[in-house]
Amino acid sequence: MTRIHDLPAHRLLAMVRRRELSPTEITEHFLDRIERYDRHYGAYITVTPEKALEQARHARKRVMRDTPENLPPLLGLPLPIKDLDAVAGVRLTHGSTLFRDAVASADSDMVARLRKAGAVLPGKTNTPEFGSACYTENAIAPPTRNPWNTDLSPGGSSGGAAAAVAARLAPAAQGSDGGGSIRIPAGACGLFGLKPTRGRISGAPTKPDLVGLSTAGPLTRDVRDAALLLDVMTLSRPGDYFTAPPLPPGETFVDHVDREPGRLRVGYYATTGSVGIPVHPDVLAAHEEAVRLLEELGHDVEEIPNPVDAHFGGAFMEDFQVVWAAMASAAPVDPSREGEQSLLNRWLRERAAATPVPDYIAACVRLQQGVRSLVAATEPFDAVLSPTLAMPPVPIGHFTGGGPQEEFARMNEFTPFTSVYNVSGQPSASVPLHWSPDGLPIGVMLTGRMGGEGLLLSLSAQLERARPWADRVPPGLDDRPGPPVSKGGRGAPVDP
């Protein structure tokens, strides 16, 4: 018998509209799963059952009162929010002891849009401090664990969001991506994760655009659910530095999921170029399998040079680190409490403070010059294929213990493919086409033209139809032993 948590988001929403399932029934089901099983995974940092049930009861009244065509698109869907975004009246910790007890006074504009669309907000998902790391371990909660093997990390910084979806503790989740933070955990947890085009989703009112590395986006079990969320999350606000090209009037991203992509020209690469980071054999096998599948589907596939080497002159990693450190320095930390941050964030902020403004500007100039070259060179291609990560999921604690500089180096070794597309601003998605001989997910990454999420979704949906993945379930999902995450029960603050 199919259980509620086995169903994708779009199926749940359709059943709500047909009055076959109640929003309260769905919400209670997921809240029960969170209470019973999240101690194994640490996906949530805060759970808000009373608020969620109140929202679900309101959604149930809407279903009974309105006709299906008048119902908002996400009515009754439980959708957790990453704990870097504000939800009114709920803790906003940023994964930091500095903000352990902080409570948001208002929704971010994106969260307000999800709420207006009828989403039920069951809580906040775990994240590393300020989202600075590619794994999900912090000082205020136990580490988030990968549902495919709880000894392993789900990646980050949207690791809590990915673990919640993979463990069926949520049908879908909101994440954010500044250097791969949606695609990394999607690749490690067997999910579809989409980083939209720069400017597609505003960070208003409080998140500055800065150099435009970071954007919100969806983490889902299938492509249709990602398109559905993207249609709702898309928004721009006056004063945004960046805006994405809009869809034609009357068109939606969901429309593209049902549209065959046609014969495409796809470039591919799987090397890390001059940085010399090795790529694991299982990752190469996944990449080669994806190349073959694209060819079988009739696409023109050709190898291209590593874009970092070809367009950034060998300076990309250093320049990106300068900008990443500058972004870390933007976190609102009381100077008297700098020492309470993680070693990584202290190191990044110290590096930013020691970087002269002309050096920062020079790094930004080189990165933009590289982007102009990259975008021009890849314009003839409808999509570019690469690995998502350089290795399969790694153990909890893999990145820490050697000091912050070693930690950052290990992060680069794990994620050499993702950040270039944060710099370029192109839409990019991790697609879960492969599982290793050890049964671990291995994602591949597809990147499109600026504003090209529609074609990227069409191609991803075609791949999903050819090699379905959404029904793959981590072994022992509902009875895995693991350490407790919360001493206080459902909805209680999480103690370290």
AA letter at 391: M
Where helices occur in 190-280 by DSSP H, the ranges are: 223-233, 253-257
Quick one: which of 32, 2, 39 has its CA closest to 479? Answer: 39
Q: Is 458 a catalytic residue?
A: no
Strand 123-125 versus strand 81-82 pairing type: parallel
Tokens of 384: 């570019």
In 123-195, which ranges are E strands?
A: 123-125, 172-177, 192-195
Task: Give every CB contact of residue 487 below 8 A, 6+ residues apart in sequence.
Answer: 495
Integer Cα distance of 359 and 12 in angstroms? 51
Two tokens at 241?
């530095």
DSSP, residue by residue, 60-109 = HHHHHHS-GGGS-TTTT-B--EETTS--TTSB--TT-GGGTT-B-SS--H
Tell me, what amino acid is at 305? P
Active-site annotation holder among 157, 202, 458, 460 = 157
DSSP bridge pairs for 348 = none
Q: Could you say which of 22, 51, 82, 428 is catalytic?
A: 82
440 neighbors 153 (Cβ within 8 angstroms): no
Strand order in the sheet with 300-303: 172-177, 215-220, 192-195, 428-435, 441-447, 383-387, 265-268, 300-303
Q: Which of 192, 302, 338 is nearest to 257 (CA)?
A: 192
Three-state DSSP state, 155: coil
Neighbours of 236 (CB within 10 A): 16
- Distance in angstroms (rounded) separating the CA atoms of residues 214 and 231: 18
Take residue 37 and report the two structure tokens written for it: 């099983």
Side-chain half-sphere exposure of 83, counting CA atoms within 13 A: 37
Query: With contact defined as beta carbons under 8 Å apart, do 165 and 172 qualify?
Result: yes
Residue tagged active-site, from 181, 202, 419, 428 = 181
Half-sphere exposure of 320 (CA within 13 A, CB side): 27
| 157 part of the active site | yes
Active site residues: 82, 157, 181
